[in-house]
Amino acid sequence: MQYEARAVTSNQDGVHDDLPALVRRYQQHRFLKPVAKHSQEAFDAVAEQVAHWRGPLVLDSCCGVGESTAVLASRFPDALVIGVDKSAHRLQRNLQHQGKAAGAPYLLLRADLNDFWRLAAEASWQLDQHFLLYPNPWPKQKHVGRRWHGSPVLPSLVQLGGELTVRSNWQIYIDEFATALELYGIESQCQQLASNIDPITPFERKYQAAQQALWQLRANLTAKGSL
Ligand SMILES: C[S@@+](CC[C@H](N)C(=O)[O-])C[C@H]1O[C@@H](n2cnc3c(N)ncnc32)[C@H](O)[C@@H]1O
């Protein structure tokens, strides 16, 4: 059965007042939470391949069922394309989307990105493209610290560099992400997506079918300004 996607509702009506202080705090303090074993193993499984890779590197973070990862593999045929999600259940459903890669290879890994981004940054990975499509919005005001831009792992995401694309059906999420990046001296371009884009993820398709506005942020993390 298909359920119509509900629009995000929140007790916030703009960028969270505490966000700048959170971002600054995490710029100054290392994120010391121990890395989960399964995340370390997932990272180790690709670390050597990435270390020897001389072409472009594309990361699809929170890839869900990996439909977008397959699409990105077809769009960037010269790149090493890696999709990461914490849900084994979702990743197992990738089979039905494999054809969208048009034969181009890609890798899917099960890992917690709170760990994976740190490990990748510590290993000096430099991304060409980084996609973060429809991350969980955590729209309650008290949950700002669970949003990626309000979390202690943001410095690692920024350090990974590349052209970042974030999409959300909650405009405040995009505005907040831009606010957080500004504190790293990074400028973002934010826009509403056209209502007739070809959806590249199941969530995008669901929100589009429900006629929700979709928002996108793009930012060049490699061209960092002063902190
Ligand atoms: C709303 S879904 C979007 C999935 C996909 N990008 C799409 O648009 O269809 C958010 C995804 O983020 C993943 N996720 C949430 N927290 C995560 C974490 N800490 N590490 C890795 N994946 C995470 C979830 O498992 C889920 O698949």
Q: What is the pLDDT along the chain (227 residues), one digit of tens a residue?
A: 456 788 999 999 999 999 999 999 999 999 999 999 999 999 999 999 999 999 999 999 999 999 999 999 999 999 999 999 999 999 999 999 999 999 999 999 999 999 999 999 999 999 999 999 999 999 999 999 999 999 999 999 999 999 999 999 999 999 999 999 999 999 999 999 999 999 999 999 999 999 999 999 999 999 664 44
- 87 Cα–ligand 1 center, Å: 7
pTM of the model: 0.97
| Domains of the chain, start order | 20-220 (3.40.50.150)
Edge-first strand listing for the sheet containing 188-192: 107-110, 80-85, 57-61, 129-133, 163-168, 215-220, 188-192
Is 139 a pocket residue for ligand 1 (Cβ < 6 Å)?
no
User: What's the confidence (pLDDT) of residue 4?
Assistant: 72
Helix (H) or strand (E) holding 57: strand 57-61
Please list the alpha-helical segments (H only) found in the chain.
Answer: 19-28, 37-52, 67-75, 88-91, 113-122, 154-159, 171-182, 202-209
d(CA 140, CA 42): 31
Is 87 a pocket residue for ligand 1 (Cβ < 6 Å)?
yes
d(CA 125, CA 117): 9
Is 114 a pocket residue for ligand 1 (Cβ < 6 Å)?
yes
Is 85 a pocket residue for ligand 1 (Cβ < 6 Å)?
yes
